[in-house]
């Protein structure tokens, strides 16, 4: 790797530029563009994510202060607030959505061997959504409440990583369960969901596609117990039953048998009831599968805390979706680099290093290594001491 390049340029060397140009060409992103290309837009927005820029003016000021280094960072166009705002406004957000999927496709094989903490060879997905609050006066297209706006980020997370594999951005009014209609079920995979996704007609579609699901049951579930299986109650398990739905609509929407596992958390003493169409795994594994769903909550918390996804640089729908998709692409790119370089530091630590060394010309691996503290005897004895003992 060329040590004369800035750290930001070294990070961007991992971008598959051929696939990026294909995404741009697919939606005519550079049509009638003279100076500020889609790649310039992506690099500026990704730089803003890595260095926690607060606004478009903040991005402009920071990059213009390093004008002599922009060309070597890959930014060929003239960076200005108006140009970047116009690009976010008019350039199709699907360019960056497709490119994020390209990066996800590259990241998943790198994390395929990650330990899930369960004795399972199948892929395990967690499906959930997070709400990003918006001001309805500034974002009138994002209807949520009568006097409140919001967008929802629906995410299907591969728990071996974790890497998002499916993302859908909607306004706040869309119910979470409707996202199940957009999923293409993977045979043999597990889909772990909260009870907000409890729709037996849609769950039966997963069952017919030979996929497995683990979901929490509601308290008003009407079912008939067919069989009871022995459980070890010292582990927190209360029962493991084969049931049949008896509700007038639920029995019609899901005519097959289900498995009901009741579990009491030994720490919180909270009683949880799970439904699944998997009858072979031990009941404790079913409970542990649902517990692993918490990874998607941690993913939402991480990107909201460490990336710019709650405050937006533009108010149009296209600008908001562009920023969110570039945020996801930046997250996956950092995950790819961390795995390919074999870094032992966390994604958070990696981002912190990049945020303060983006313009330094230091090898990327050296910047990520911990520098040991110098011993007192290594100091030059001719150097005057600031404080005397």
Q: DSSP character for 148?
A: E
SS3 249: coil
SS3 183: coil
Read off the pLDDT of residues 34-61 as tens digits, 9 standing for 90 and up.
889 999 999 999 999 999 998 999 999 9
CA distance 69 to 59: 15
367 within 8 A of 343, measured Cβ to Cβ: no
User: Among 140-154, 243-257, 292-306, 355-369, which stretch is predicted with the lowest mean pLDDT?
Assistant: 355-369
Cα torsion angle, 266, 220, 151, 331, sign: positive
- Give the distance between the most distant pair of CA atoms in the chain: 89
**What pLDDT is recorded for position 376?**
45
CA distance 150 to 154: 13
CA distance 221 to 218: 6
Q: Report the pLDDT averaged over residues 233-237.
A: 90
DSSP 266-311: TTT--EEEEEES--SS-HHHHHHHHHTTHHHHHHHHHHHHHSS-SS
- Which residues are CB-neighbours of 271 under 8 A, at least 6 positions away? 238, 262, 263, 264
Read off the pLDDT of residues 277-334 as tens digits, 9 standing for 90 and up.
999 999 999 999 999 999 999 999 999 988 888 889 999 999 999 999 999 999 999 9
Read off the pLDDT of residues 241-278 as tens digits, 9 standing for 90 and up.
999 999 999 999 999 999 999 999 888 889 999 999 99
Q: Report the pLDDT averaged over residues 85-98.
A: 95
DSSP 115-137: --SSS--S-EEEEEEEEEEE-TT
**What pLDDT is recorded for position 323?**
95
pLDDT value at 68 more than 60: yes
- Which residues are CB-neighbours of 282 under 8 A, at least 6 positions away? none
State yes or no: cis peptide before 162, omega within 30 of 0.
Answer: yes
CA distance 59 to 216: 44
Question: Between 118 and 28, where is the model more confident?
Answer: 28
pTM of the model: 0.89
**What pLDDT is recorded for position 3?**
52
**What pLDDT is recorded for position 288?**
93
**What pLDDT is recorded for position 373?**
41
CA–CA distances in Å: residue 253 to residues 175, 179, 249:
19, 18, 6
Q: Report the pLDDT averaged over residues 18-39.
A: 92
pLDDT above 90: percentage of residues in the chain:
67
- N-terminal to C-terminal alpha carbon distance within the chain: 45
Q: Is 334 left (phi over 0), alpha (psi -120 to 50) or beta?
A: alpha
CA–CA distances in Å: residue 97 to residues 24, 166, 194, 234:
11, 10, 26, 48
Read off the pLDDT of residues 165-200 as tens digits, 9 standing for 90 and up.
999 999 999 999 999 999 999 999 999 999 999 999
**What pLDDT is recorded for position 385?**
41
Q: Report the pLDDT averaged over residues 131-135.
A: 93
**What pLDDT is recorded for position 97?**
96
pLDDT value at 383 more than 50: no
**What pLDDT is recorded for position 370?**
56
CA–CA distances in Å: residue 92 to residues 31, 58, 64, 320:
11, 24, 26, 11
Q: Give φ, ψ of 148 to 5 degrees.
A: -145, 140
147 within 8 A of 136, measured Cβ to Cβ: yes
**H or E segment to which residue 228 belongs:** strand 223-229
**What pLDDT is recorded for position 73?**
84
pLDDT above 70: percentage of residues in the chain:
94
pLDDT value at 204 more than 70: yes
- Half-sphere exposure at residue 388, Cβ-oriented, CA atoms within 13 angstroms: 1
């Amino acid at each position: 790797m060329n040590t004369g390049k800035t750290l930001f340029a070294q990070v961007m060397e991992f971008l598959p530029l051929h696939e990026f140009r294909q995404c741009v060409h697919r939606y005519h992103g550079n049509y009638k563009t003279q100076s500020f290309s889609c790649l310039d837009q992506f690099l500026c927005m990704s730089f803003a994510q890595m260095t926690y820029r607060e606004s478009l003016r903040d991005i402009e000021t920071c990059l213009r202060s390093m004008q002599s280094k922009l060309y070597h960072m890959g930014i060929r166009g003239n960076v200005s607030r108006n140009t970047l705002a116009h690009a976010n406004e008019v350039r199709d957000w699907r360019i960056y959505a497709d490119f994020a999927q390209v990066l996800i496709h590259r990241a998943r094989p790198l994390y395929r061997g990650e330990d899930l903490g369960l004795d399972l060879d199948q892929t395990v997905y967690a499906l959930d959504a997070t709400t990003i609050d918006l001001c309805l006066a500034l974002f009138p297209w994002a209807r949520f409440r009568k006097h409140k706006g919001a967008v929802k980020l629906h995410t299907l997370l591969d728990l071996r990583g974790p890497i998002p594999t499916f993302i859908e951005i909607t306004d706040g009014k869309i119910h979470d369960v409707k996202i199940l209609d957009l999923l293409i079920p993977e045979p043999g995979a597990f889909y772990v969901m909260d009870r907000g996704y409890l729709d037996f007609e849609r769950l039966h579609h997963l069952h017919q596609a030979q996929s497995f699901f683990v979901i929490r049951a509601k308290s008003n579930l009407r079912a008939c117990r067919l069989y009871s299986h022995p459980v070890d109650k010292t582990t927190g398990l209360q029962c493991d039953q084969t049931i049949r739905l008896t509700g007038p609509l639920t029995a019609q929407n899901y005519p097959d048998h289900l498995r009901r596992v009741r579990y009491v958390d030994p720490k919180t003493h909270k009683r949880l009831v799970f439904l699944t169409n998997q009858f072979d795994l031990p009941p404790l594994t079913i409970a542990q599968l649902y517990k692993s769903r918490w990874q998607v909550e941690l993913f939402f918390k991480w990107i909201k805390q460490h990336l710019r996804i709650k405050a937006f640089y533009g108010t149009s729908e296209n600008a908001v979706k562009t920023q969110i998709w570039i945020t996801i692409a930046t997250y996956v790119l950092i995950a790819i680099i961390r795995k390919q370089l074999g870094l032992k530091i966390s994604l958070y630590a990696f981002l912190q290093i990049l945020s303060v060394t983006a313009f330094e010309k230091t090898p990327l691996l050296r910047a990520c290594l911990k520098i040991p503290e110098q011993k007192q005897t290594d100091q030059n004895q001719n150097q005057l001491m600031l404080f005397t003992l």
